[in-house]
Structure 1
Amino acid sequence: MRKGILEFCILHIISRGEVYASDMLEELTSARIMVVEGTLYPLLTRLKNAGLLDYKWVESTSGPPRKYYLLTETGQASLKGMNETWQELSDSVNSIVSKTDKHKAAINGLTTVESAVPAVDNDPDAPSPEN
Protein backbone atom coordinates (compact mmCIF):
# COMPACT_ATOMS: atom_id res chain seq x y z
CA MET A 1 0.00 0.00 0.00
CA ARG A 2 1.26 3.47 -0.85
CA LYS A 3 3.19 4.99 2.04
CA GLY A 4 1.01 7.18 4.21
CA ILE A 5 -2.37 5.88 3.04
CA LEU A 6 -2.79 3.53 6.00
CA GLU A 7 -1.85 6.30 8.44
CA PHE A 8 -4.34 8.59 6.68
CA CYS A 9 -7.13 6.00 7.03
CA ILE A 10 -6.32 5.30 10.68
CA LEU A 11 -6.30 8.99 11.59
CA HIS A 12 -9.67 9.37 9.86
CA ILE A 13 -11.15 6.48 11.83
CA ILE A 14 -9.83 7.88 15.11
CA SER A 15 -11.01 11.40 14.24
CA ARG A 16 -14.63 10.24 14.66
CA GLY A 17 -14.08 9.50 18.34
CA GLU A 18 -12.26 7.20 20.72
CA VAL A 19 -11.73 3.83 19.10
CA TYR A 20 -10.43 0.43 20.11
CA ALA A 21 -7.73 -1.14 17.91
CA SER A 22 -9.80 -4.20 16.99
CA ASP A 23 -12.59 -1.88 15.79
CA MET A 24 -10.03 -0.14 13.54
CA LEU A 25 -8.97 -3.49 12.12
CA GLU A 26 -12.59 -4.41 11.48
CA GLU A 27 -13.32 -1.15 9.66
CA LEU A 28 -10.16 -1.35 7.57
CA THR A 29 -10.95 -4.95 6.63
CA SER A 30 -14.54 -4.08 5.70
CA ALA A 31 -13.09 -1.37 3.42
CA ARG A 32 -10.89 -4.08 1.82
CA ILE A 33 -7.72 -2.67 3.33
CA MET A 34 -6.05 -5.80 4.64
CA VAL A 35 -4.08 -5.06 7.78
CA VAL A 36 -2.96 -7.42 10.52
CA GLU A 37 -2.34 -6.64 14.18
CA GLY A 38 1.41 -6.94 13.57
CA THR A 39 1.15 -3.94 11.25
CA LEU A 40 -1.44 -1.91 13.13
CA TYR A 41 0.04 -1.84 16.64
CA PRO A 42 3.53 -0.65 15.64
CA LEU A 43 1.90 2.00 13.45
CA LEU A 44 -0.27 3.19 16.34
CA THR A 45 2.86 3.39 18.50
CA ARG A 46 4.66 5.47 15.84
CA LEU A 47 1.67 7.82 15.53
CA LYS A 48 1.57 8.21 19.31
CA ASN A 49 5.32 8.87 19.48
CA ALA A 50 4.87 11.50 16.75
CA GLY A 51 2.29 13.20 18.96
CA LEU A 52 -0.61 12.59 16.54
CA LEU A 53 -2.65 10.43 18.85
CA ASP A 54 -3.01 9.45 22.45
CA TYR A 55 -4.86 6.69 24.25
CA LYS A 56 -6.70 6.06 27.45
CA TRP A 57 -7.43 2.89 29.34
CA VAL A 58 -11.06 1.96 29.90
CA GLU A 59 -12.17 -0.82 32.23
CA SER A 60 -13.93 -3.68 30.47
CA THR A 61 -16.69 -5.85 31.90
CA SER A 62 -15.46 -8.78 29.82
CA GLY A 63 -11.75 -8.90 30.56
CA PRO A 64 -8.75 -6.64 30.98
CA PRO A 65 -8.92 -2.88 30.46
CA ARG A 66 -9.04 -1.72 26.85
CA LYS A 67 -6.87 0.91 25.21
CA TYR A 68 -8.92 3.48 23.28
CA TYR A 69 -7.16 5.81 20.84
CA LEU A 70 -7.97 9.47 20.22
CA LEU A 71 -6.47 12.26 18.12
CA THR A 72 -4.42 15.01 19.69
CA GLU A 73 -4.61 18.60 18.46
CA THR A 74 -1.43 17.92 16.49
CA GLY A 75 -3.11 14.84 15.00
CA GLN A 76 -6.14 16.89 13.98
CA ALA A 77 -3.91 19.49 12.29
CA SER A 78 -1.91 16.76 10.56
CA LEU A 79 -5.11 15.10 9.34
CA LYS A 80 -6.31 18.44 7.95
CA GLY A 81 -3.08 18.75 5.95
CA MET A 82 -3.35 15.15 4.77
CA ASN A 83 -6.93 15.82 3.63
CA GLU A 84 -5.76 18.79 1.56
CA THR A 85 -2.96 16.75 0.00
CA TRP A 86 -5.35 13.87 -0.70
CA GLN A 87 -7.84 16.22 -2.37
CA GLU A 88 -5.13 17.72 -4.60
CA LEU A 89 -3.90 14.25 -5.57
CA SER A 90 -7.43 13.01 -6.16
CA ASP A 91 -8.26 16.03 -8.34
CA SER A 92 -5.10 15.51 -10.40
CA VAL A 93 -5.75 11.81 -10.94
CA ASN A 94 -9.43 12.41 -11.74
CA SER A 95 -8.42 15.03 -14.31
CA ILE A 96 -6.21 12.54 -16.12
CA VAL A 97 -8.80 9.76 -15.93
CA SER A 98 -11.53 12.10 -17.16
CA LYS A 99 -9.46 13.16 -20.18
CA THR A 100 -8.77 9.51 -20.98
CA ASP A 101 -12.48 8.67 -20.73
CA LYS A 102 -13.36 11.62 -23.01
CA HIS A 103 -10.68 10.56 -25.48
CA LYS A 104 -12.00 6.99 -25.57
CA ALA A 105 -15.57 8.26 -25.99
CA ALA A 106 -14.50 10.48 -28.89
CA ILE A 107 -12.72 7.59 -30.59
CA ASN A 108 -15.73 5.33 -30.05
CA GLY A 109 -17.97 8.08 -31.43
CA LEU A 110 -15.82 8.35 -34.56
CA THR A 111 -15.94 4.61 -35.05
CA THR A 112 -19.73 4.70 -34.76
CA VAL A 113 -19.97 7.57 -37.26
CA GLU A 114 -17.62 5.84 -39.70
CA SER A 115 -19.71 2.68 -39.65
CA ALA A 116 -22.91 4.68 -40.23
CA VAL A 117 -21.59 6.67 -43.21
CA PRO A 118 -21.57 4.81 -46.53
CA ALA A 119 -18.24 4.42 -48.25
CA VAL A 120 -17.48 7.12 -50.80
CA ASP A 121 -16.02 6.07 -54.12
CA ASN A 122 -13.36 8.53 -55.20
CA ASP A 123 -13.26 7.20 -58.79
CA PRO A 124 -13.96 10.20 -61.07
CA ASP A 125 -15.19 7.86 -63.84
CA ALA A 126 -17.77 6.19 -61.58
CA PRO A 127 -21.39 7.00 -62.40
CA SER A 128 -22.97 9.53 -60.07
CA PRO A 129 -25.68 8.25 -57.71
CA GLU A 130 -28.25 10.50 -59.42
CA ASN A 131 -28.05 8.47 -62.69
Structure 2
Amino acid sequence: MIEKDDPWGLGQLRRGVVEWCVLALLQQHERYGFELAKTLSAANLIASEGTIYPLLGRLRRDGLVETLWRESPEGPPRRYYVLTVAGKESLQQFRNQWQQFKEAVDHFLGETQEEHHDHHEPK
Protein backbone atom coordinates (compact mmCIF):
# COMPACT_ATOMS: atom_id res chain seq x y z
CA MET A 1 0.00 0.00 0.00
CA ILE A 2 1.43 3.38 -1.01
CA GLU A 3 1.02 6.09 1.60
CA LYS A 4 0.77 9.71 0.51
CA ASP A 5 3.52 10.94 2.87
CA ASP A 6 5.79 7.93 2.14
CA PRO A 7 5.20 6.96 -1.50
CA TRP A 8 8.23 4.65 -1.65
CA GLY A 9 7.34 2.72 1.51
CA LEU A 10 10.64 3.60 3.15
CA GLY A 11 9.04 3.73 6.59
CA GLN A 12 7.88 0.14 6.30
CA LEU A 13 11.27 -0.92 4.91
CA ARG A 14 13.06 0.79 7.81
CA ARG A 15 10.79 -0.92 10.36
CA GLY A 16 11.57 -4.24 8.72
CA VAL A 17 15.34 -3.89 9.00
CA VAL A 18 15.97 -1.74 12.06
CA GLU A 19 16.04 -4.70 14.47
CA TRP A 20 18.76 -6.32 12.38
CA CYS A 21 20.73 -3.09 12.42
CA VAL A 22 20.42 -3.05 16.22
CA LEU A 23 21.72 -6.62 16.43
CA ALA A 24 24.59 -5.77 14.06
CA LEU A 25 25.54 -2.77 16.21
CA LEU A 26 25.46 -4.95 19.33
CA GLN A 27 27.67 -7.52 17.64
CA GLN A 28 30.38 -4.84 17.55
CA HIS A 29 30.09 -4.15 21.30
CA GLU A 30 27.56 -3.64 24.08
CA ARG A 31 25.65 -0.36 23.95
CA TYR A 32 23.04 1.49 25.96
CA GLY A 33 19.66 2.45 24.53
CA PHE A 34 20.29 6.15 23.93
CA GLU A 35 23.56 5.35 22.14
CA LEU A 36 21.70 2.94 19.82
CA ALA A 37 18.95 5.50 19.23
CA LYS A 38 21.46 8.24 18.41
CA THR A 39 23.34 6.02 15.94
CA LEU A 40 20.18 4.80 14.20
CA SER A 41 18.64 8.26 14.13
CA ALA A 42 21.80 9.73 12.55
CA ALA A 43 21.52 7.07 9.83
CA ASN A 44 17.84 8.04 9.34
CA LEU A 45 16.67 4.55 10.33
CA ILE A 46 14.45 5.63 13.23
CA ALA A 47 12.43 8.79 13.69
CA SER A 48 12.87 9.23 17.43
CA GLU A 49 14.58 7.80 20.49
CA GLY A 50 11.26 6.52 21.81
CA THR A 51 10.93 3.96 19.03
CA ILE A 52 14.03 2.02 20.09
CA TYR A 53 12.95 0.97 23.59
CA PRO A 54 9.94 -1.17 22.63
CA LEU A 55 12.16 -2.89 20.05
CA LEU A 56 14.90 -3.54 22.64
CA GLY A 57 12.28 -4.94 25.03
CA ARG A 58 11.04 -7.33 22.36
CA LEU A 59 14.58 -8.41 21.46
CA ARG A 60 15.20 -9.10 25.15
CA ARG A 61 11.96 -11.09 25.53
CA ASP A 62 12.90 -13.07 22.40
CA GLY A 63 16.27 -13.94 23.95
CA LEU A 64 18.31 -12.16 21.28
CA VAL A 65 19.80 -9.62 23.69
CA GLU A 66 20.55 -9.51 27.40
CA THR A 67 20.88 -6.46 29.58
CA LEU A 68 23.26 -5.44 32.31
CA TRP A 69 23.57 -2.34 34.42
CA ARG A 70 26.77 -0.32 34.48
CA GLU A 71 27.69 2.80 36.41
CA SER A 72 27.81 5.94 34.30
CA PRO A 73 30.24 8.81 34.85
CA GLU A 74 27.51 11.21 33.65
CA GLY A 75 24.68 10.24 36.00
CA PRO A 76 22.64 7.21 37.04
CA PRO A 77 23.59 3.66 36.01
CA ARG A 78 22.81 2.74 32.42
CA ARG A 79 21.22 -0.40 31.05
CA TYR A 80 23.51 -1.88 28.41
CA TYR A 81 22.36 -4.35 25.77
CA VAL A 82 24.50 -7.34 24.82
CA LEU A 83 23.98 -9.76 21.95
CA THR A 84 23.27 -13.35 23.05
CA VAL A 85 24.35 -16.52 21.23
CA ALA A 86 20.80 -16.79 19.85
CA GLY A 87 21.06 -13.16 18.71
CA LYS A 88 24.34 -13.87 16.90
CA GLU A 89 22.82 -16.90 15.18
CA SER A 90 19.70 -14.96 14.14
CA LEU A 91 21.83 -12.12 12.81
CA GLN A 92 23.93 -14.50 10.74
CA GLN A 93 20.82 -16.14 9.29
CA PHE A 94 19.44 -12.71 8.44
CA ARG A 95 22.74 -11.70 6.80
CA ASN A 96 22.53 -14.73 4.52
CA GLN A 97 18.90 -14.04 3.61
CA TRP A 98 19.55 -10.32 3.21
CA GLN A 99 22.37 -10.97 0.74
CA GLN A 100 20.09 -13.10 -1.43
CA PHE A 101 17.27 -10.55 -1.15
CA LYS A 102 19.59 -7.64 -1.93
CA GLU A 103 21.04 -9.41 -4.97
CA ALA A 104 17.54 -10.14 -6.30
CA VAL A 105 16.41 -6.53 -5.83
CA ASP A 106 19.66 -5.18 -7.29
CA HIS A 107 19.19 -7.49 -10.27
CA PHE A 108 15.77 -6.09 -11.05
CA LEU A 109 16.70 -2.48 -10.34
CA GLY A 110 19.78 -2.84 -12.54
CA GLU A 111 17.81 -4.65 -15.24
CA THR A 112 15.16 -1.95 -15.25
CA GLN A 113 17.80 0.74 -15.49
CA GLU A 114 19.58 -1.07 -18.34
CA GLU A 115 16.29 -1.60 -20.19
CA HIS A 116 15.48 2.07 -19.74
CA HIS A 117 18.82 3.08 -21.27
CA ASP A 118 18.48 0.59 -24.14
CA HIS A 119 15.06 1.90 -25.16
CA HIS A 120 15.96 5.58 -25.00
CA GLU A 121 19.42 5.70 -26.55
CA PRO A 122 19.56 7.55 -29.84
CA LYS A 123 20.55 5.37 -32.80
TM-score (norm 2): 0.84
CA separation in 1, counterparts of 2:69 and 2:38?
Answer: 20
Q: Which runs of 4+ in 1 moved over 6 A?
A: none
Query: Structure 2: how far apart are the matches of 1:4 and 1:75?
Result: 16
- Which structure 1 residue ranges, 5 or more long, are not aligned? 114-131
1:94 maps to: 106
| Residue identity (%) | 33
Task: Give the C-alpha shift of residue 62 in structure 1.
Answer: 2.0
Q: Who is 1:79 aligned against?
A: 91
Cα distance in structure 2, aligned partners of 1:40 and 1:31: 14
Q: Deviations over 1:33-57 (max 9, x none)?
A: 1232332111101101111001111
Question: Does structure 1 conserve the Cα–Cα contact (< 8 Å) formed by 2:68 and 2:81?
Answer: yes
The one-letter amino acid paired with 2:90 is S
Deviations 1:2-58 (A, max 9, x none): 353111111111111011111111111111112323321111011011110011111
Give, in whole Å, the separation in 2 of the partners of 1:25 and 1:34.
8
**Counterpart Cα distance in 2 of 1:19 and 1:89:** 28
Paired position in structure 1 for 2:48: 36
Alignment partner of 1:15 out of 17, 27, 33? 27
Structure of higher CA gyration radius: 1
> How many residue pairs align between the two structures?
111
CA distance in 1, matches of 2:54, 2:46: 15
Q: Which moved more, 1:96-105 or 1:34-43?
A: 34-43
Normalising by structure 1, report the TM-score. Answer: 0.79
- Whether the 8 Å contact between 1:25 and 1:35 is mirrored in structure 2 is no
- Give the Å deviation of 1:108: 2.1
